[in-house]
């Protein structure tokens, strides 16, 4: 069963449950009504369109109304919150939206790297800001180690923008390394969304061998592919259930762990092992990609590898996710370095001041997640930041964009533009609370939130 066949089967089943005779909202997509990957994609799409609509309405203001009057601000805040919260897929666009969502999510489950690369740069002609790349990757729920890898690579190399080739090479290399030492249990956990989707599409908890073969080919898992091929020859079956796949994975793992026989060198040949060739000019850099350095947890008393060898790459990312979550949500303690300080440098580099490209599209199309618009009079974003924050050094804007605006640089620009026109700190603090923290559901005690508030207040004091 090719990926398109799985997607079409899933689409037909979901279309019966969700006919195109009404508009749909996120409330209609319960966890038991849609496969997790499709539901995640559609919810992210609705969040995008809700913000787009609120942004269009905000830009529709004219000088005939004093939008800065407290009464107007008090009324506008809840209105824009409601606009973003009540996005919907129009009935006449539901069919195409559902079809696109099922195709993209099933493709991602089987071939995540090319699917992500295609989606990220679908309408871009060159490099994109890292924040926008991250935001677009979050349209897909499974395999969250891939967005983490891009963030880690960009942070390590201090890159604000990445090209399509760089992103694809980073993703491919990390996808191979992350799964290189997976045991059967880890493989099955990784494949759980694919089995769930197949269950919803066919009514059977099985995934076709051709799809699994493609999945493992992407990971360069040759021994597993050999076991799948042997199983197909011996049993003639076209699909396998999780328990069958577990047996095949364990067999492949035992074969991998067996000591290989050493063939005798041919006469006249040099038996000295030669280093494997690198895959690309980026290989040396990508091999060292790891999560951004974080303060050591109390229980970490040694940086040496554990007795059984180096920590697997998947566990490095897993441990980093726990550390990152605790650092963002908890107040600062002792001398622990806060999130913003880890990224803090001097003034933003020129490449970081380039706004995200604007790609408006049809309301139901998920191919245009960032409907950026320039600030009034084409004002440069760096100058806008200086108006709001003053001349004191501030952390790179990617920290604010990613942690306070969910990767939406246009929303960040709009918030700064709004703050620039505010005359009093009391009004600015209300604007931050309403249009940044509450609108984006931000923990006001997180490092990024605290530092953003302090930076804006410092700008008012300097003025």
* DSSP, res 35: -
- Asked if the structure places residue 344 within a domain, the reply is yes
Please give the Cα distance from 9 to 206 (Å, whole number): 14
Query: Which range, 194-203, 236-245, 449-458, is most confident?
Result: 194-203
211 pLDDT above the threshold of 50: yes
Q: Which residue has better confidence, 441 or 141?
A: 141
The answer to whether position 298 is within a domain reads no
Least confident of 149-153, 390-394, 426-430, 459-463: 390-394
In this structure, are residues 448 and 403 in contact, taking their beta carbons and an 8 Å threshold?
Answer: yes
Longest dimension (CA), the chain: 91
Total of domains in the chain: 1
The reply to whether 158 falls in a domain is no
Please give the residue range of the domain that contains residue 355. 340-462
Residue 212 has pLDDT above 90, yes or no: yes
Asked if residue 384 is part of any domain, the answer here is: yes
- Residue 323 binned pLDDT confidence (cut-offs 50, 70, 90): very low
Rounded percentage of the chain residues whose pLDDT exceeds 70? 71
- Mean pLDDT over 200-222 rounds to 92
Residue 36 has pLDDT above 70, yes or no: yes
Q: What local confidence, expressed as pLDDT, does residue 395 receive?
A: 55
DSSP string, 276-322: PPPSSTTHHHHHT--PPP-PPPTT----SPPTTSSPPHHHHHHHHHH
Q: Within a domain: residue 226?
A: no
* Residue 452 contacts residue 436 (beta carbons within 8 Å): yes
Distance CA 248, CA 245 (A): 5
Residue 430 domain-assigned (yes or no)? yes
> Does residue 416 form part of some domain?
yes
**Is 0.75 topped by the overall pTM?**
no
28 within domain boundaries: no
């Amino acid at each position: 069963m090719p990926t398109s066949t799985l997607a079409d089967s899933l689409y037909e089943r979901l279309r019966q449950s969700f006919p195109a005779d009404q508009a749909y909202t996120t409330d209609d997509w319960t966890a038991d009504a849609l496969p997790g990957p499709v539901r995640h994609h559609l919810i992210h799409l609705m969040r995008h369109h809700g913000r787009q609509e609120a942004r269009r309405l905000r830009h529709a203001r004219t000088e005939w109304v004093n939008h800065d009057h407290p009464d107007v601000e008090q009324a506008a805040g809840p209105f824009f919150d409601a606009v973003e919260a009540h996005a919907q897929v129009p009935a006449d666009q539901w069919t195409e939206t559902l079809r696109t969502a099922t195709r993209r999510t099933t493709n991602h489950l089987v071939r995540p790297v090319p699917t992500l690369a295609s989606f990220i740069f679908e309408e871009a002609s060159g490099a994109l800001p890292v924040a926008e790349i991250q935001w677009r990757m979050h349209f897909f729920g499974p395999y969250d180690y891939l967005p983490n890898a891009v963030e880690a690579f960009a942070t390590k190399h201090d890159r604000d923008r990445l090209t399509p080739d760089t992103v694809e090479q980073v993703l491919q290399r990390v996808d191979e390394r992350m799964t290189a030492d997976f045991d059967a249990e880890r493989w099955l956990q990784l494949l759980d969304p694919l089995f769930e989707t197949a269950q919803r599409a066919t009514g059977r908890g099985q995934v076709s061998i051709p799809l699994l073969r493609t999945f493992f080919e992407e990971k360069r898992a040759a021994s597993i592919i050999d076991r799948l091929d042997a199983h197909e020859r011996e049993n003639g079956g076209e699909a396998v259930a999780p328990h069958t796949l577990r047996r095949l994975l364990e067999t492949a793992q035992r074969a991998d762990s067996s000591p290989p026989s050493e063939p005798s060198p041919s006469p006249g040949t040099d038996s000295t092992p030669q280093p494997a060739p690198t895959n690309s000019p980026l290989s040396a850099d990508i091999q060292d990609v790891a999560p951004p350095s974080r303060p050591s947890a109390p229980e970490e008393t040694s940086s040496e590898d554990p007795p059984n060898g180096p920590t697997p790459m998947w566990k490095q990312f897993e441990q980093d996710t726990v550390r990152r979550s605790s650092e963002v949500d908890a107040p600062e303690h002792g001398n622990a370095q806060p999130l913003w300080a880890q990224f803090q440098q001097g003034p933003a580099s020129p490449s970081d001041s380039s706004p995200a490209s604007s790609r408006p599209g049809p309301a139901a199309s998920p191919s245009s997640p960032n409907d950026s618009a320039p600030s009034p009079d084409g004002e440069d974003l760096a100058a806008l930041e200086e108006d709001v924050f003053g001349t004191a050094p501030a952390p790179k804007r990617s920290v604010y964009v990613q942690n306070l605006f969910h990767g939406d640089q246009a929303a960040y620009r709009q918030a700064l533009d709004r703050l620039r026109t505010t005359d009093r700190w009391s009004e600015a603090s209300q604007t931050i609370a309403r249009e940044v923290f509450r609108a984006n559901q931000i923990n006001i005690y997180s490092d990024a939130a605290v530092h953003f508030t302090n930076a804006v207040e410092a700008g008012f004091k300097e003025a």
